[in-house]
């Protein structure tokens, strides 16, 4: 039985990594098609010389950093505020907060596009960096709320009171004590925001306007012509980056757990 | 003493960037080009009923396949020792963090004529069109969203006390009835959130069908994308119908979940 | 607003607190003398923690005034009060080490670094944690965490230290040690301690003054000896130490009748033929030969308790507990001699001996011979009576006619159990519904401070028509 499960798991993992393996292999292909023509690094070289791709990468990172920082601040404060509401008000707030998470990306995207276009006409601005940033903050902040709320609920409230008792005003109590307790939730929320922002295509697609480009958008225009080996090189590099990030986080978690393990 | 004020910026933000855009969608769906009240947009939207139904159908099939594939895997994972569990979770999450377009594009490379799979099948004398049909679209969806089914299922199953399963074994339940009577009822919340996380995006996704399917396989998300740039009224009407349909689906699903929880 | 300055450090005047329509503190008044160790003692839900939170500034009373050192401090936030708190589960800051936890308050006040260092050192010496500065607080044992919490609060030099069941999470042995230590720390630092607990033994060992609370009111304030020797009512007697609490009748000054026997006591002024509660501590009963005493009983159980024997003695149907250094064998007849000074007479908590209430007939069925009456929004059926609809009835029920509905469906639901006191023969239970209190007799042990459905046995009732 156990063996059967192992084979099954291996098959699933094979299924999930087969496409990854394909683009890694073909990123080193000297030819332009999916027929193997010999080993080469020319697509990597091409990739780094492509100003447009590098520019899109820069835009993606800038948007992801700013959006996730603002979303984290907004969402953390919101979680504290929402937690202090009770009964129906709290349920309504939580449900509204969950709308961007539950409603389809296409709908979120077109509804924002509609608003930005109309407001843009009225105030003479065009969609671009700013609209993408606003959109990203909007769909990231709810994830921060979701990850911080449980920390607040499980926090020992008397820790906050102890800080007040020892002479803190409410802001000091928050900055010196409460925030340390919420940190794991805030960090998770930030990480989620950052990755969702990096990964987003649909909402960016509708709110980017005419000329603004992120990596997802660039990949879209490149892949629309069906075959473009530069995309393989880009994918391989992104895969590498993700593996490094994930392994680091995992090792850090394990290290933290060990540290905690000693205490108990 | 308990502060609600920190929540205010977020509440304002949500009103401006979530609720007002939805109001715009509502307004456009119920008006015509001149801005007068009209059901015209809905009549035009009903012209896409077949696409709508196909999207739901494809989403349904994909969700079902994901559930069938993910359930045994999640169960197996949850019974492993903790460090192996963490490792497997990471392995399953890594492809999820890859750009969504890249993952789909990899399947284009894999499935295209003279691509690796076609070549492989060619050795066995099988020559068939792998791309450009509904099967390829479903394959893409399953590949895209499988981790979203595995992770919630695994999270819930990992919380099931293994003592409970041993107790069931001890009380003479065989493996199958242990699964049915103990594991299944306790895993219902995981199924609910897994189904939500797979069904909603796959019903509303766009591009997957454009990349992997044929001309007759386009889905409702693609339609919204195509129409919206030229006819925002009809686009809004379709978006509205899609959103309402998905919310109804979620409500039914959660109601079903509550019933199950009580029965268990 | 200044009050006449005396040696009271904290004064609560007519404090009233309500949560969701439930009264938590019912107009309490409390004065706390400077430099005393005061314990607020009571069962859970009695309002003791709420009282503490009001003094600490974490809760504003709905009504009433709080004075600190003669100044009114209503509305002043906790960080501006010269009061510090030791929280129930310590509430140490997990991200800081021992030194930083203790230094926290002084750093907020921006005291100079070397002063902080010196005072933390001093404090660590007082709480016996020298050399623990760099330890992470999560690596400390429960008792050590407790000391850090005390040090952290005391280092701020408060005039009053509030302690909310601080020993509750410790095991028995550690608790005993900490009791002594707390008392020593209080004397060393010369600070007023206000200590909240439900543990009567803790209260008796540590306090200068004990405040006994129940159901949002203060039952008694006094020194441990006073409270133990002269409890004001059966609740206090029952809550503090072991006691035989028996129903009796005051025949006149210094004469009380218990179980059909007249005994001499020292209390006066209760009037004639007044029902009272009598408290006799188990160690105040002297075992003598049957012919030498007025009260005679039979030993039914003996347990050796280390320093004394605990004997259960039946006098008729009434159970007594006696502590004695000499054992009388099970089955032997003994005389119980009690000197008048050791018989404590108290007014009854429930003044009447029967329950009286009024109810209106809402429907009447002559053939089936029953009526339905309404009382406090509940409608219930009385068999064997017939009155016209709309008649107002006066119903009298003896305590034995009341019971708690085992099937969960009572004549009146959600009745609050206020106290349960064993009276030798039965438990005497005082209940409270929306409009009145009830006295019930039961052989069951019921849980205080819970809500139960109350059922009436109308075959024991006296029902008369109340003329308008």
A165 to C84: CB separation less than 8 angstroms, yes or no: yes
Residue C1 confidence class, pLDDT cut points 50, 70, 90: very low
Please give the residue of chain A at the shortest CA–CA distance from B99. A199
Residue C388 confidence class, pLDDT cut points 50, 70, 90: confident
Tokens of B231: 């006819």
Q: Cα–Cα distance between C123 and C129 in angstroms, integer? A: 9
A225 has a pLDDT exceeding 70: no
Question: Testing the interface with A: which of B35, B106, B204 to mutate, by most A Cβ within 10 A?
Answer: B106
**How much is the pLDDT for B98?**
78
Greater pLDDT, B256 or C393: C393
Domain ranges in chain C?
8-229, 242-347, 355-465
B257 has a pLDDT exceeding 70: no
B2 has a pLDDT exceeding 70: no
Q: Cα–Cα distance between C286 and C169 in angstroms, integer? A: 39
Least confident of B99-103, B118-122, C3-7, C405-409: C3-7
Q: Cα–Cα distance between A135 and A105 in angstroms, integer? A: 11
Rounded to whole angstroms, the maximal C-alpha distance in chain C is: 92
A1 has a pLDDT exceeding 70: no
Tell how many helices (H) and how many strands (E) occur in chain A: 12, 0
Closest CA of chain A from C409, distance in Å: 29
**How much is the pLDDT for B18?**
93
Question: Testing the interface with A: which of C104, C153, C160 to mutate, by most A Cβ within 10 A?
Answer: C104
Range of the domain at A221: 51-226
Residue A111: inside a domain: yes
Q: Could you tell me the sign of the dihedral formed by the alpha carbons of A113, A118, A124, A130, in that order?
A: negative
CB pairs under 8 A between A and C: 63
A17 shares its domain with A71? no
A24 shares its domain with A134? no
**How much is the pLDDT for B114?**
78
Digit-coded pLDDT (tens) for C310-353 = 999 999 889 999 999 988 899 999 999 998 999 999 888 887 78
Query: Closest to A22 (Cβ–Cβ): which among B109, B196, B243?
Result: B109
Q: If DSSP codes are grouped into helix, strand and coil, which group holds residue A113?
A: helix
Residue B4: inside a domain: no
Residue A8: inside a domain: yes
Q: CATH number of the domain that A197 lies in?
A: 1.10.3720.10
Digit-coded pLDDT (tens) for C230-258 = 899 889 998 888 889 999 999 988 889 88
Strand pairing report for C192-197 and C160-164: parallel
Digit-coded pLDDT (tens) for C169-220 = 788 888 888 888 889 889 988 899 999 999 888 899 899 999 999 989 999 9
**How much is the pLDDT for C15?**
94
CB C257 within 8 A of CB C251: yes
Q: Cα–Cα distance between B179 and C35 in angstroms, integer? A: 65
A147 shares its domain with A104? yes
B1 has a pLDDT exceeding 70: no
CB within 8 Å of B102: residues ≥ 6 apart: A23, A219, A231, A234, A235, A238
A113 shares its domain with A146? yes
Closest CA of chain A from B210, distance in Å: 9
Digit-coded pLDDT (tens) for C25-53 = 999 999 999 999 999 999 888 899 999 99
- B17 contact residues in A (CB cutoff 8 A): 112, 134-135, 137-138
Least confident of A140-154, B112-126, C118-132: B112-126
A25 shares its domain with A55? no
Burial class (CB in 10 A: 0-12, 13-18, 19+), C21: exposed
Structural domains of chain A, count: 2
CB within 8 Å of B151: residues ≥ 6 apart: B89, B92, B93, B194
Q: CATH number of the domain that B70 lies in?
A: 1.10.3720.10
A151 shares its domain with A248? no
Residue A261 confidence class, pLDDT cut points 50, 70, 90: very low
Greater pLDDT, B174 or B139: B139
Subunits in contact with chain C (3 or more CB pairs closer than 8 Å): A
Query: Which helix (H) or strand (E) segment is B149 a member of?
Result: helix B134-159
Structural domains of chain B, count: 1
B206 has a pLDDT exceeding 80: yes
Least confident of A39-53, B114-128, B235-249: B114-128
CB within 8 Å of C319: residues ≥ 6 apart: C312, C313, C424, C425
Could you give the ipTM of this predicted complex? 0.85
Residue A227 confidence class, pLDDT cut points 50, 70, 90: low
- B115 contact residues in A (CB cutoff 8 A): 34
Q: Cα–Cα distance between A231 and B103 in angstroms, integer? A: 11
Tokens of B251: 């409500």
- Homologous superfamily assigned to C242-347: Nucleic acid-binding proteins (2.40.50.140)
**How much is the pLDDT for B16?**
94
Residue A45: inside a domain: no
Interval C368-376 mean pLDDT: 88
**Facing residues of C247 across strands?**
C277
Burial class (CB in 10 A: 0-12, 13-18, 19+), B35: exposed
Closest CA of chain B from A35, distance in Å: 7
**How much is the pLDDT for C3?**
45
Residue-wise DSSP of C226-255: HHHHS-SSHHHHHHSS--EEEEEEEEETTE
Q: Cα–Cα distance between C351 and C276 in angstroms, integer? A: 9
**How much is the pLDDT for A73?**
95
**Facing residues of A67 across strands?**
none
Digit-coded pLDDT (tens) for C117-172 = 999 999 998 888 888 989 998 888 888 998 899 999 999 889 999 999 888 778 88
- Crossing angle for the helix pair B184-204 and B220-228, nearest 10 degrees? 30
Please give the residue of chain A at the shortest CA–CA distance from B90. A246
Q: Could you tell me the sign of the dihedral formed by the alpha carbons of B105, B111, B116, B117, in that order?
A: positive
Closest CA of chain A from C450, distance in Å: 25
Distance of CA C419 to the CA centre of its chain: 9
> What phi, psi does C438 have (nearest 5°)?
-130, 150
- A26 contact residues in B (CB cutoff 8 A): 109
A87 shares its domain with A30? no
Q: Cα–Cα distance between C311 and C321 in angstroms, integer? A: 6
A110 to B25: CB separation less than 8 angstroms, yes or no: yes
- Residue in the block written with tokens 């004020």: B5
- Crossing angle for the helix pair B20-29 and B232-263, nearest 10 degrees? 120
Least confident of B14-23, B126-135, C37-46: B126-135
Query: Which helix (H) or strand (E) segment is C18 a member of?
Result: strand C8-19
Are domains C8-229 and C242-347 of this chain identical in fold? Answer: no
- Residue in the block written with tokens 């920390």: A151
Residue-wise DSSP of C261-306: EEEE-S---S-SSEEEEEEE-GGGPEEE-GGG-SEEEEEEEEEE-S
Residue A263 confidence class, pLDDT cut points 50, 70, 90: very low
Distance of CA C22 to the CA centre of its chain: 18
Residue A262 confidence class, pLDDT cut points 50, 70, 90: very low
Q: If DSSP codes are grouped into helix, strand and coil, which group holds residue A13?
A: helix
Q: Cα–Cα distance between A112 and A204 in angstroms, integer? A: 10
**How much is the pLDDT for C196?**
94
A179 shares its domain with A260? no
**How much is the pLDDT for B140?**
93
Range of the domain at B67: 49-263
Digit-coded pLDDT (tens) for C64-120 = 999 998 899 998 988 888 999 999 888 899 889 999 999 999 999 899 999 999 999
Residue A34 confidence class, pLDDT cut points 50, 70, 90: low
Name the CATH topology of C8-229.
Answer: Rossmann fold (3.40.50)
């Amino acid at each position: 039985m156990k063996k059967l499960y192992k084979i099954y798991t291996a098959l699933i993992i094979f299924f999930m990594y087969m496409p990854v393996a394909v683009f890694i292999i073909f990123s080193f292909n000297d030819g332009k098609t999916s027929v193997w023509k010999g080993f080469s690094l020319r697509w990597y070289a091409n990739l780094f010389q492509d100003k447009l791709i590098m520019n899109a990468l820069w835009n993606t990172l800038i948007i992801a950093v700013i959006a996730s920082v603002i979303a984290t601040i907004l969402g953390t404060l919101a979680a504290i505020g929402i937690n202090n509401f009770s009964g129906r008000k709290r349920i309504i707030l939580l449900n509204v907060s969950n709308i961007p998470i539950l409603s389809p990306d296409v709908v979120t995207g077109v509804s924002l596009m509609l608003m930005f276009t109309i407001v843009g006409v009225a105030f003479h601005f065009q969609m671009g960096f700013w609209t993408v940033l606003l959109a990203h903050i909007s769909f990231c902040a709810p994830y921060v709320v979701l990850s911080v709320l449980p920390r607040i609920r499980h926090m020992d409230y008397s820790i906050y009171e102890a800080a007040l008792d020892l002479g803190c005003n409410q802001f000091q109590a928050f900055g010196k004590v409460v925030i340390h307790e919420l940190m794991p939730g805030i960090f998770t929320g930030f990480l989620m925001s950052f990755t969702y922002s990096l990964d987003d295509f649909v909402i960016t697609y509708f709110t980017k306007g005419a000329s603004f480009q992120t990596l997802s958008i660039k990949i879209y225009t490149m892949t629309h012509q069906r075959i473009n080996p530069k995309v393989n090189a880009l994918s391989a590099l992104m895969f590498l980056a993700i593996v490094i990030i994930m392994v680091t986080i995992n090792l850090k978690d394990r290290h933290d757990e060990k540290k905690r393990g000693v205490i108990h | 003493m308990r502060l609600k004020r920190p929540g205010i910026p977020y509440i304002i933000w949500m009103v401006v960037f979530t609720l007002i855009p939805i109001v715009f969608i509502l307004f456009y769906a119920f008006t015509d080009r001149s801005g007068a009240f009209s059901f015209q947009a809905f009549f035009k939207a009903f012209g896409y009923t077949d696409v709508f139904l196909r999207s739901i159908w494809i989403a349904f099939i994909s969700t079902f396949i994901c559930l069938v594939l993910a359930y045994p895997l999640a169960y197996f994972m949850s019974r492993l020792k903790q460090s192996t569990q963490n490792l497997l979770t990471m392995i399953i999450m890594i492809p999820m963090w890859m750009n969504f377009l890249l993952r789909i594009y990899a399947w284009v490379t894999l499935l295209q004529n003279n691509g690796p799979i076609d070549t492989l099948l060619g050795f066995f004398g099988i020559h068939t069109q792998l791309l450009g049909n509904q099967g390829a679209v479903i394959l893409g969806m399953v590949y895209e969203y499988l981790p979203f089914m595995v992770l919630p299922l695994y999270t819930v199953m990992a919380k099931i006390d293994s003592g409970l399963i041993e107790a069931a074994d001890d009380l003479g339940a065989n493996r199958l009835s242990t699964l049915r009577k103990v594991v299944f009822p306790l895993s219902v919340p995981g199924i609910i959130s897994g189904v939500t996380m797979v069904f909603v995006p796959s019903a509303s996704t766009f591009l997957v069908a454009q990349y992997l399917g044929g001309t007759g396989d386009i889905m409702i998300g693609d339609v919204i994308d195509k129409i919206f740039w030229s006819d925002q009224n009809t686009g809004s009407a379709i978006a509205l119908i899609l959103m309402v349909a998905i919310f109804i689906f979620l409500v039914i699903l959660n109601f079903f979940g509550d019933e199950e929880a009580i029965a268990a | 607003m200044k009050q006449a300055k005396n040696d009271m450090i904290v004064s609560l005047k007519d404090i009233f607190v309500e949560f969701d329509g439930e009264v938590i503190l019912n107009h309490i008044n409390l004065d706390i003398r400077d430099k005393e160790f005061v314990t607020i003692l009571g069962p859970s839900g009695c309002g003791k923690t709420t009282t503490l939170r009001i003094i600490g500034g974490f809760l504003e009373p709905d009504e009433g005034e709080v004075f600190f050192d003669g100044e009114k401090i209503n509305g002043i936030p906790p960080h501006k009060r010269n009061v510090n708190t030791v929280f129930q589960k310590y509430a140490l800051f997990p991200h800081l080490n021992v030194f930083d936890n203790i230094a926290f308050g002084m750093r907020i006040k921006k005291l100079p670094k070397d002063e902080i260092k010196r005072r933390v050192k001093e404090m660590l010496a007082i709480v016996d944690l020298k050399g623990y500065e760099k330890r992470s607080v999560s690596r400390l044992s429960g008792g050590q965490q407790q000391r850090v919490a005390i040090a952290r609060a005391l280092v701020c030099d408060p005039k009053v230290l509030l302690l909310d069941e601080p020993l509750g999470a410790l095991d028995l042995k550690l608790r005993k040690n900490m009791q002594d230590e707390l008392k020593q720390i209080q004397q060393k630092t010369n600070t007023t301690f206000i200590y909240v607990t439900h543990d009567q033994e803790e209260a008796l060992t540590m306090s200068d003054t004990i405040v006994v609370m129940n159901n949002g009111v203060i039952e008694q304030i006094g020194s441990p000896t006073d409270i133990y020797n002269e409890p004001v009512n059966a609740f206090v007697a029952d809550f503090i130490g072991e006691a035989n609490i028996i129903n009796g009748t005051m025949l006149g000054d210094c004469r009380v009748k218990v179980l059909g026997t007249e005994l001499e006591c020292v209390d006066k002024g209760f009037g004639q033929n007044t029902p009272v509660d009598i408290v006799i501590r188990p160690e105040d009963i002297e075992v003598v030969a049957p012919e030498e005493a007025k009260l005679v009983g039979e030993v039914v159980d003996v347990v050796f308790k280390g320093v004394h024997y605990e004997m259960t003695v039946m006098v008729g149907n009434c159970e007594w507990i006696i502590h004695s250094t000499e054992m009388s064998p099970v089955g032997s007849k003994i005389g119980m001699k009690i000197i008048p000074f050791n018989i404590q007479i108290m007014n009854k908590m429930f003044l009447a001996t029967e329950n009286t209430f009024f109810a209106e007939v809402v429907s009447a069925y002559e053939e089936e011979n029953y009526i339905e009456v309404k009382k406090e929004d509940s409608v219930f059926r009385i068999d064997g009576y017939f009155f016209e609809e709309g008649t107002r009835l006066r119903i009298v029920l003896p305590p034995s006619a009341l019971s708690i509905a085992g099937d969960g469906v009572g004549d009146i639901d959600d009745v609050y159990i206020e106290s349960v006191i064993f009276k030798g023969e039965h438990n005497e239970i005082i209940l409270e519904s929306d409009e009145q209190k009830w006295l019930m007799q039961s052989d069951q042990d019921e849980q205080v401070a819970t809500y139960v459905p109350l059922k009436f046995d109308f075959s024991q009732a006296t029902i008369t028509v109340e003329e308008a």
